[in-house]
A and B are shown apart, each in its own frame.
Chain A
């Protein structure tokens, strides 16, 4: 008896709840319901869309089945054509790459036409984390000698430190052992830019004259002092000036014009003027 009573009470409660819910939902604004509709749609609509698409496809395209053989043939032909096109695309890409390399050489030559230069490819990079030298594919057989300046399209790369008959080792300006005497192009103040361990895309400019006005964005060029690098070759731009309590210790960070991680083609200046 008690059991039946309890069942009845539960039934009543459930019914009341259902009723209340029905009342609430049926009387509420449809806009307020939209989020529930959205949730429901997420589960159903993609599948529904798929079915509708299939239905339309099957009912509307009877010819699809009828022309199966023709389509197969056409498909084969298209595949054949596609592979032919891919082949010619690959050939074009090779030609494009060659063209770009040649253009790079021509641009480099035009830019530094006062110097007689020899183009070279970078064939090896330093495997040490603490130095930054590269090996290029020209050597003493091509007339390369020690201390010759190496440049790239955008600026100074470094100088030759040793030569074999067909390769040359180049110490880049970002190497920690490199120090280049240079000038700030806007003010003509002489500074020394050195490679650092921290970053292989920046240099540290030191020995900045106390009266020099150094501004971010100033261009830095070689000064010609020191005998290795000719005057006026672009090195980079000043990225940041670090002021210290003692003005003689202040230094600047110079961003190199050359991207050393992507350096593939260089020019060796064979007649320093």
Chain B
């Protein structure tokens, strides 16, 4: 029951983020660059609920984004799924209790996601590679994501521990005993 409730909560957060991203952040930008809150959400799910859930949610959310607004179906799903998987690896190797490590994880994940999507678009759509412009936009996007992470860090911690209790209780026990 708790699990079902948590999953519903995650879906609601996804929808909330979608509307924020599609409305508020189209004008609330840094030099015209929007943040990518989906990466933060999927990384958060992967970190606190495990790779299975992270990957599944990543793929579903990404697929949904592609269907609603994307140009090609699949790439966001694949990349967000990878972020969900990477989150588990990050959780095993780094502490989630530090604001700095969470920020580094967000920065890394944003870079992986955007580089992956851009590379895929270059291959499939024959877009001209504009490496400097891409790096500039990516840099601003990462900074934007980091600023948002700093602001919402207390929420990430609180909700994260709740998720961890629901989904990862057994894992924690086996890890420490």
Chain A interface residues toward B at CB < 8 A = 124-131, 133, 135, 161, 169, 171, 176-177, 194, 196-198, 200
Q: Contacts A176-B128, A177-B121, A194-B128 given; indicate if A129 touches B137 (C-beta within 8 A).
A: yes
A51 vs chain B, min Cβ distance (A): 48
The 6 closest A-B pairs by CB, nearest first: A197-B133, A177-B125, A127-B21, A176-B127, A197-B130, A198-B133
CB-based contact B117/A176 at 8 Å? no
Which chain B positions have C-beta within 8 A of A125?
A: 22, 26
Which chain B positions have C-beta within 8 A of A177?
A: 71, 121, 125-127
B129 vs chain A, min Cβ distance (A): 10
Interface residue from B22, B133, B134 paired with A127 (Cβ < 8 Å): B22
| Residue on B nearest A167 in the bound complex, by CB | B68
- What interface size band does chain B fall in? 20 to 34
Which chain B positions have C-beta within 8 A of A169?
A: 69, 71
Of A125, A161, A176, A194, which is in contact with the most chain B CB atoms at under 10 Å from its CB? A176
Answer yes or no: B154 CB below 8 A from chain A CBs.
no
Q: How far is the CA of A124 from the CA of B23 in the complex (A)?
A: 8
11 more A-B residue pairs beyond the given contacts A129-B114, A197-B133, A200-B32, with a C-beta to C-beta distance below 8 A: A127-B69, A128-B117, A129-B34, A130-B117, A131-B121, A133-B71, A169-B71, A177-B71, A196-B133, A197-B134, A198-B133
Answer yes or no: B167 CB below 8 A from chain A CBs.
no
The 10 listed contacts between A and B (C-beta, < 8 Å) are A124-B22, A127-B26, A128-B34, A129-B114, A130-B118, A133-B71, A135-B68, A169-B71, A171-B71, A198-B133
Answer yes or no: B33 CB below 8 A from chain A CBs.
yes
Interface residue from A130, A161, A194, A200 paired with B121 (Cβ < 8 Å): A130
A269 vs chain B, min Cβ distance (A): 21
Chain B interface residues toward A at CB < 8 A = 18, 21-22, 25-26, 32-34, 65, 68-71, 114, 117-118, 121, 125-128, 130, 133-134, 137, 141
CB-based contact A130/B114 at 8 Å? yes
Q: How far is the CA of A126 from the CA of B26 in the complex (A)?
A: 9
CB-based contact B65/A127 at 8 Å? yes
Which chain B positions have C-beta within 8 A of A176?
A: 121, 125, 127-128, 130
CB-based contact A131/B33 at 8 Å? no
CB-based contact A197/B34 at 8 Å? no
CB-based contact B22/A161 at 8 Å? no
Q: How far is the CA of A15 from the CA of B69 in the complex (A)?
A: 86
Which chain A positions have C-beta within 8 A of B70?
A: 128, 133
Q: How far is the CA of A255 from the CA of B25 in the complex (A)?
A: 25
Which chain B positions have C-beta within 8 A of A130?
A: 114, 117-118, 121, 134, 137
Which chain B positions have C-beta within 8 A of A124?
A: 22, 68-69
Of A124, A197, A200, which is in contact with the most chain B CB atoms at under 10 Å from its CB? A197
Which chain A positions have C-beta within 8 A of B114?
A: 129-130
| Residue on B nearest A127 in the bound complex, by CB | B21
B63 vs chain A, min Cβ distance (A): 15
CB-based contact A135/B69 at 8 Å? yes
CB-based contact A129/B33 at 8 Å? yes
